[in-house]
Structure 1
Amino acid sequence: MSTRTLISPATLGRPRGKVVYWTVLTLVMLLFTLVFIGPLYWMAVNGLKSTEEFTRIPPTLVPHGVHTDNLTNAWRVMDFAKLLLNTVWYAFGALAFQLVLDVAAAYSLSKLRPVFGKAILAMMLATLMIPAAVLVVPQYLTVLDVPIFKRNLLNTPWAIWLPSVTNAFNIFLLKRFFDSIPRELLDAASIDGASPLRTLRSVVLPLSRPILGVVSIFAVVGVWKDFLWPMLTLPDPGKQTLNVGIYSLAQGVPENWLTAALAMASIPTLLIFIVFQRNIMSGLTAGGLKG
């Protein structure tokens, strides 16, 4: 079966067609690279400029001098280490809860087939159609006075951890991967006397490392980049995340120090993507086809 493309093989085989094709492709790639890399480069270089050069008009594309003391000053004045530890604590706590509860939910929907399982999954996926801003007020009222328990979760890690567990997208990714695991493996484990929990621990989870890695990265990055929810639920300056702490102290520091702090705050998530980008892509595509 022939494949339909915008450019026919005959046109692409001609010298002029090759020149036009590669020229357009190069320009498009350069444009997209500029759009995505440009803001990161601008943030990095502005964080290394002096205060005088930072406010210069027109701005300089390359700093005349590299002022690494901006990084150390921002680290010290903003108590960056404290904010970083807070964010790591919230991010990996959310990761632990998501791995336990989201995996259990996805496994139940995929392999245990509960009554009304399809309806439950449909309602979960329907929440993805609701803008996140619409849910801010009811979620805030919930953590302000948790029903039944009558507890105020403000200024506690639970205000970050519990809402992060209700992640329909991660549950859907996990369920789709679990669906691709051959039923014969689970039946063999059941014949050997393994309970559903033992089957999950000994058979399903070892096969699910790619998708578990993707969910872990999404969980950490989701908490790391969040701003509005931590700002509402963590008013105590000593318990704030990086984004909220930098925003709270933005008025009292020079703008080049602020930009340097933003650059340092973005480094961990950039490193996570650079190191695990292959795992992210392979995990997202895993389970798409049954083998």
Structure 2
Amino acid sequence: MRTLISPSQMRSRRGKTIYWVVLVLTLVLFTIAFLFPLYWAVTGAMKSSAELAKVPPTLVPEQWHPETYVQSWKEMDLGKYFLNTIVVAGGAWLVQLAVDVPAAYALSKLRPKLGNLVLGLMLATLMLPAAALLVPTYVTVADLGLLNSPAAIWLPAAANAFNIYLLKRFFDQIPDEIVEAATIDGAGPVRIMVRIVLPMSRPILAVVSIFAVVTAWKDFIWPLLVFPDSGKQTLSVMLQRVAIDMPLNLLVAGLVLASVPMVLLFLAFQRHILAGLTAGSLKG
């Protein structure tokens, strides 16, 4: 296979040196590019408000104030809004799995008539701008009396076309012979899905779960509309609401604390995410 560097050059001492220098520099630059914003936020919260607004900015705090995180947690009552966000994100995750998994399984293995047309119409909804759906969705939720209820977040997020597509593509890789053998043994469609297909689909289920939780956790516009009661708002909405009156270092500390669960979630399940996104076949 032809590459930018020939095998003979790679075998030479000069070629190996250039290769490793370029590789290390690239890794270092990308690591800095991704980690520096995190470092800036974490250390910025431990500066005073005056130092945080200082020009030019300081890379290392002149005086460390780690107590800012505790103060931010207490003054903004973050525990309450963390609980609100966990309820919203957890419910959205469960509802999406309850709707998307059976839908994808039916399109992949049961193959109903006009199934491809239904899938095409689902994917067509991804072409619509999200802003165009806000008004009709809000009117529907308001008519159902779901304002200030977590169900206002859960129900609109239930049928996610992108997640259904990901699940269907993965289910398509499961050999039909396994499903046919289970059918001959007397298993019904639901039992086959629960006992056979889902245990084989853990990587893609992890991916869909991460997408569902992260989307619900960081969403801002929709929770802002459906939670007019400030006591029931999520973290993203509450932090924007108090941003005007809150000292800058306390606000940054609140943003960091709100981001920690999603960062830890990704670090804990990154192997499952990569496995689910790259899975293209199953070994028999």
Task: State TM-score, norm by structure 1.
Answer: 0.92
Q: Given residue 98 of structure 1, which amino acid in structure 2 is its aligned partner?
A: Q
Which of 248, 266, 289 is equivalent to 2:281? 289
Would the alpha carbon gap of residues 25 and 162 (structure 1) be closer, same or farther in structure 2, given more than 3 Å must change?
same
Matched letter for residue 153 of structure 1: L
Matched residues in 2 for 1:98 and 1:117: separation?
20
- 1:136–1:8 CA distance, 2 compared to 1 (3 A): farther
Partner residue of 2:134 out of 133, 136, 145: 136
- After the TM superposition, which of the residue ranges 57-66 and 271-280 deviates more from structure 2? 57-66
Counterpart of 2:217, as a letter, is W
Cα offset for 1:290? 4.9
State the 1:120 CA deviation.
0.9
**Residue ranges of structure 1 left out of the alignment (5+ in a row):** 146-150
Provide closer, same or farther for how the CA distance between residues 26 and 134 of structure 1 changes in structure 2, counting only shifts above 3 A.
Answer: farther
Q: Secondary structure at the match of 1:251?
A: coil
Query: What residue number does 1:148 align with?
Result: none
Match of 1:159 in 2: 152
Deviation at 1:161, TM superposition (A): 0.4
C-alpha deviation, 1:62, in angstroms? 1.1
- Between the two proteins, the alignment pairs up a number of residues equal to 283
Query: How far 1:6 moved relative to its partner?
Result: 2.1
Q: Who is 2:270 aligned against?
A: 277
Identity %: 55
What's the C-alpha RMSD, in Å, of the aligned pairs? 1.6
Residue 117 of structure 1, CA deviation = 0.2
Residue number in structure 1 paired with 2:112: 114
1:84: which partner in 2?
Answer: 82
Counterpart CA distance in 1 for 2:135 and 2:27 is: 41
Distance 1:134 1:30 in 2: 42
Name segments (4+ residues, structure 1) moved above 6 Å.
Answer: none
Cα offset, 1:78, TM superposition: 0.9
2:250 equivalent among 257, 261, 277: 257
TM-score of the superposed pair, with normalisation by structure 2: 0.94
For structure 1, which segment, 5-14 or 173-182, has the greater mean C-alpha deviation from structure 2 after superposition? 5-14
Give the letter aligned to residue 115 of structure 1.
K
Helix, strand or coil at the partner of 1:90: helix
